Amino acid sequence: MLKIREDACKKCRICMKNCPIEAIVAGEENGQKYVRITDKCVECNICRRVCPFGVIENADQTEGMIQCSSCSVQCKIPVGSTGACKRYTNEGGKLVRNRKLVVEPLPQVEAAENIRKPIITAVGAGTNYPCIRPAPHIVCENRDGVDVVTTVTEAPLSYSGVLVKLDTNTYIGEEGATVYCEGKPVGMVQTEEYGSKMIYVGGANRLTAKDGGFATARTICALANGEEVELSVDKKIKIRCQQGKAPVINGVEEQTMRIGCGSATIGLLADVMKEAVDECIVIDHHVTGLFSEHLAGREVGMKWSGVIPNATKSTVGRYFGGHGDGIGGTVLQTPRDAIKSVDMSVAHAGMTILVTNTTGEIAALFEVQEDGDVKEIPMTEKAAKVARTIHENCQSSMTSVMYCGGTGGSARGGVCKHPVAITEAVHEGRAQLTIGGAPAFVYPGGGLNFIVDTGKVINKAFTWVPTPATVAPVEYTMTKEDYEKIGGHMDRIKNVKDFPEYQK
């Protein structure tokens, strides 16, 4: 367990607020305030990391504790206590997952097969405006003995934008940084999502902004329609992107999406690394991994090599890499920069250290010298195999564009007289929402907020109006029986066979 140096402790209780298992207590004794760590402590080290005064240190081991190895925190859990995540309990000397395995799946809301596809799409349909008018086309066809209806309209959506996913490690700016197109602010950098950088272009506030509203509408549509667009982050980092193509960042075309973070790379390929080198540092902007210290390294029989990587330690074998324009989106400009120092009381001369990134595209081999310095040496076949295996397990870099919108007025008024009825029908799986023929994922909760992969939408389906709003082809498909139940415009239903454009 850990203990607090009582004489130096300022009694601020920050540690207590952060302890995940309430193992820290505070009170008053003989007129003196105290903050103490109890024997429930599992050594997760959170309190030590948050204490602003550095007064928390190691104490004696708690009797009967079991070290959990289900993650790199490695809690030492005393009998009767749970680990920091509260998932594992030491029950009388046995570490158990304290929740029963759930084997019964929840009932899924899923549209029936015969309403999954629209009868026709809304592309080219025109718009019902004002919203009180029925949708431009309400069509019916018989599918396997069931009458099915699709209503279609090209709906102006003020709440709309695109989420652009760029499969790359390359630094594109910090979260929240402004994204420009045509010199106007059109969006911002979002959080990263495992191996991809995310940019959001649009949204109601950007679309209605005095400066850049029209540029935003043009940019959303261009991206959603699969056109090539040049964006810039903070007017410094240039990103050329197009649905389905590799992004080009500052003139360099991205090739490969990483296999995972540095820790995951070691976790996946520890056995290959063991065969090749004494140590391996996998550089990554999120988590840089140190093979010999990592739990996966231990799993294949490694012990810490004495190598100290140039990054901030998180947990065993895992280090925060920092953000920058260097290797793997870090500040490290060369593989040599990844090695901070070598502790020669553990390491020995002649040890080999492979430094690679998470795509295996950059790799260099080093040898530890007598004085603790390292020297680059030619790659061995086995070391090259590590980098090759990483590379072979990576996918090609791509740009994906997801259109996000919320259907409110014409896209519901055109369907039925009580707009909430179509909203509920979609949420209950009685009606299917598609955008230009592609199935949309509808967010849970109120309203009809959706996201759709524009790579699956009919070509050039998006337009914009200078309100400004983007115009999306919106289709709802349901059985004729359900359409009548939600108060649909029954007198406007036409048989699809009556459309001159209809070809079977």
Q: Identity (one letter) of the amino acid at 376?
A: E
Note whether 41 binds ligand SF4 by CB under 6 A. yes
C-alpha separations of 291 from 274, 279, 317, 496 in Å: 9, 6, 7, 63
Decide: 170 and 249 in contact? Cβ < 8 Å: yes
Return the residues of window 83-102 that contact ligand SF4 according to CB under 6 A: 83-85, 87-88
Within 13 Å of residue 286, how many CA atoms lie on the same side as its CB? Answer: 18
Nearer residue to ligand SF4 within complex by CB, 21 or 457: 21
Note whether 341 binds ligand SF4 by CB under 6 A. no
The DSSP secondary structure of 427-475, one letter per residue, reads HTTSEEEEETTEEPEEPSSSS-EEEEEGGGSPTT--EEETTTEEEEEEE
Decide: 302 and 317 in contact? Cβ < 8 Å: no
Note whether 13 binds ligand SF4 by CB under 6 A. yes
Nearer residue to ligand SF4 within complex by CB, 37 or 338: 37
Task: For residue 401, list its beta bridge partners.
Answer: 164
Note whether 135 binds ligand SF4 by CB under 6 A. no
Which region, judged by CB under 6 A, interacts with ligand SF4, from 10-18, 174-182, 271-279, 486-494?
10-18
Nearer residue to ligand SF4 within complex by CB, 44 or 119: 44
Note whether 295 binds ligand SF4 by CB under 6 A. no
Nearer residue to ligand SF4 within complex by CB, 2 or 259: 2
Note whether 68 binds ligand SF4 by CB under 6 A. yes
Return the SS3 of 66: strand
Nearest-angstrom CA–CA distance, 51 and 310: 24
Binding residue for ligand SF4, selected from 39, 59, 70, 389, defined by CB under 6 A: 70
Nearer residue to ligand SF4 within complex by CB, 4 or 220: 4
Nearer residue to ligand SF4 within complex by CB, 87 or 323: 87
Which region, judged by CB under 6 A, interacts with ligand SF4, from 71-79, 366-374, 403-411, 447-455?
71-79
Note whether 24 binds ligand SF4 by CB under 6 A. yes
Note whether 314 binds ligand SF4 by CB under 6 A. no
Q: For the beta carbon of residue 390, count every other beta carbon within 10 angstroms.
A: 26
Task: For residue 478, list its beta bridge partners.
Answer: 149, 431
Binding residue for ligand SF4, selected from 2, 111, 347, 452, defined by CB under 6 A: 2
Which region, judged by CB under 6 A, interacts with ligand SF4, from 33-41, 116-124, 398-406, 449-457?
33-41
Note whether 46 binds ligand SF4 by CB under 6 A. yes
Q: Identity (one letter) of the amino acid at 194?
A: Y
Note whether 296 binds ligand SF4 by CB under 6 A. no
Q: How far is the CB of 420 from ligand SF4 (least distance, A)?
A: 44
Q: How far is the CB of 89 from ligand SF4 (least distance, A)?
A: 9
DSSP letter for 259, please.
Answer: S
Nearer residue to ligand SF4 within complex by CB, 4 or 166: 4
Kindly state the tokens that stand for 143.
């599918």
Note whether 344 binds ligand SF4 by CB under 6 A. no
Nearest-angstrom CA–CA distance, 24 and 38: 6
Nearest-angstrom CA–CA distance, 217 and 221: 6
Note whether 37 binds ligand SF4 by CB under 6 A. yes
Q: For the beta carbon of residue 201, count every other beta carbon within 10 angstroms.
A: 24
Which region, judged by CB under 6 A, interacts with ligand SF4, from 41-49, 127-135, 412-420, 482-490?
41-49
Nearer residue to ligand SF4 within complex by CB, 274 or 318: 318
Note whether 53 binds ligand SF4 by CB under 6 A. yes
Return the SS3 of 76: strand
The DSSP secondary structure of 174-225, one letter per residue, reads -TT-EEEETTEEEEEE---BTTBEEEEEE-HHHHT-TTTHHHHHHHHHHHHT
User: Mask 229-268, x = binds ligand SF4 (CB under 6 A)?
Assistant: ----------------------------------------
Cβ-count burial of 79 within 10 angstroms (0-12 exposed, 13-18 middle, 19+ buried)? middle
Residue 413 makes CB contacts below 8 A (sequence gap 6+) with 128, 130, 131, 132, 133, 419
Judged by the rule CB under 6 A, the positions of this chain that interact with ligand SF4 are: 2, 4, 9-15, 19, 21, 23-24, 35, 37, 41-47, 51, 53, 55-56, 68, 70-71, 73-75, 83-85, 87-88
